[in-house]
């Protein structure tokens, strides 16, 4: 699909992407004043839609906004944009809207800007990725899925510049998450991941992987760990909606799990693919 063929939703209208225009006074453009969601779609069905919509509500509430649309209205928009049954991702963004002047404080009366698009999901590297550890330079509200991603961009680019695919963020000695993913380690037969809180995004994939592990009888633990424990882990994974579960096979230039994806990753990867298959085959709930 060329970009001209892409239909998007903007403020109540479905238009070709080239015709979707936002004011230069939009506070998303001027301040990064907005939030977003990324929802994977398999066989035309959004994965864990309710969970994504609840996180959207939480992000909006955290920046003092109300959801501009109800669940049924969001679903109706997604249904119009999802095309066919190939794997896709919904990107949705709500900014505070366009004010009539640039002023940091929040205007009393302002109409949010609502944008949604649906695009193909890129192929996922199944043979593992390289990652580096970096010092976390982000703010103290990392649980908000804010469009203000400058720190995440710089951290990810540091990884890319070193030939790695992800940066793993460390703050006060604690390993928190990736620049655009959550982190899990396998150690002593357990899957360990940092607890939810202000220092990580509450990932939907993270929760799904923990649920799948519990169903398989694999022990899980939500607790903090430090960089020494990370480096000694049997396996390291990063999880996200668009990259599922990626096995980190090299960290800071040293092999992890012998430089190949580990056996627990293979088990969870297979359970994740089964979950996607069931979603693809489930009777459609879409209208």
Per-residue x/- track, 96-135, ligand PDD (CB under 6 A) = ----------------------------------------
Decide: is 177 part of the binding site for ligand PDD (CB under 6 A): yes
Q: Does 180 bind ligand PDD (CB under 6 A)?
A: yes
Per-residue mark of binding to ligand PDD, 35-74 (x: CB under 6 A): ---x------------------------------------
Binding flag, residue 94, ligand PDD (CB under 6 A):
no
- Which listed residue (66, 130, 145, 276) is catalytic? 145
Nearer CB in complex with ligand PDD: 38/76: 38
The site for ligand PDD, by CB under 6 A, has a size of 15
One character per residue 226-255, x = contact with ligand PDD (rule: CB under 6 A): -------------xxxx-------------
d(CA 67, CA 74): 10
Near ligand PDD by CB under 6 A, which window of 3-11, 113-121, 203-211, 229-237? 203-211
The nearer residue to ligand PDD, 77 or 184, going by C-beta atoms, is 184
Q: How far is the CB of 102 from ligand PDD (least distance, A)?
A: 26
Going by their DSSP bridges, the two strands 244-251 and 235-240 should be labelled as: antiparallel
Q: Is residue 145 among the annotated active site residues?
A: yes
- For position 148 contacting ligand PDD by CB under 6 A, the verdict is no
Residue 35 to residue 245: CA distance in whole angstroms: 24
Q: Is residue 199 a contact residue for ligand PDD (CB under 6 A)? A: no
Minimum CB distance to ligand PDD, residue 149 (Å) = 7
Q: Which residues are catalytic?
A: 145
Which residues contribute to the site for ligand PDD (CB under 6 A)? 38, 152, 177, 180-182, 201, 203-206, 239-242
């Amino acid at each position: 699909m060329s970009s001209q063929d892409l239909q998007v939703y903007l403020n109540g209208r479905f238009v070709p992407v080239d015709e979707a225009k936002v004011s230069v006074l939009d506070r998303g453009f001027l301040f990064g004043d907005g939030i977003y969601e990324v929802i994977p779609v398999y066989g035309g069905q959004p994965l864990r839609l309710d969970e994504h919509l609840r996180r959207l509500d939480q992000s909006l509430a955290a920046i003092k906004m109300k959801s501009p649309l109800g669940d049924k209205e969001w679903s109706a928009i997604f249904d119009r944009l999802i095309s066919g049954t190939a794997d896709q991702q919904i990107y949705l963004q709500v900014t505070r809207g366009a004010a009539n002047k640039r002023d940091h404080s929040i205007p009393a009366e302002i109409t949010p800007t609502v944008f949604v698009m649906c695009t193909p999901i890129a192929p996922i590297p199944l043979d593992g990725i390289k990652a580096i550890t970096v010092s976390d330079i982000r703010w103290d509200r990392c649980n908000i899925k804010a469009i203000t991603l400058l720190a995440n961009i710089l951290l990810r680019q540091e990884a890319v510049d070193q030939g790695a695919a992800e940066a793993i963020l460390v703050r006060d000695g604690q390993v928190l998450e990736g620049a655009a993913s959550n982190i899990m380690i396998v150690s002593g037969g357990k899957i360990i991941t940092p607890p939810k809180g202000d220092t990580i995004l509450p990932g939907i994939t993270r929760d799904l992987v923990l649920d799948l592990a519990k169903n398989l009888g694999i022990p899980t633990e939500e607790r903090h760990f430090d960089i020494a424990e990370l480096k000694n882990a049997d396996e390291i994974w990063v999880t996200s909606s668009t990259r599922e579960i990626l096995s980190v096979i090299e960290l800071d230039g040293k092999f992890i799990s012998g430089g190949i994806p580990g056996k627990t990753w293979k088990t969870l990867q297979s359970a994740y693919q089964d979950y996607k298959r069931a979603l693809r085959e489930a009777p459609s709930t879409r209208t």
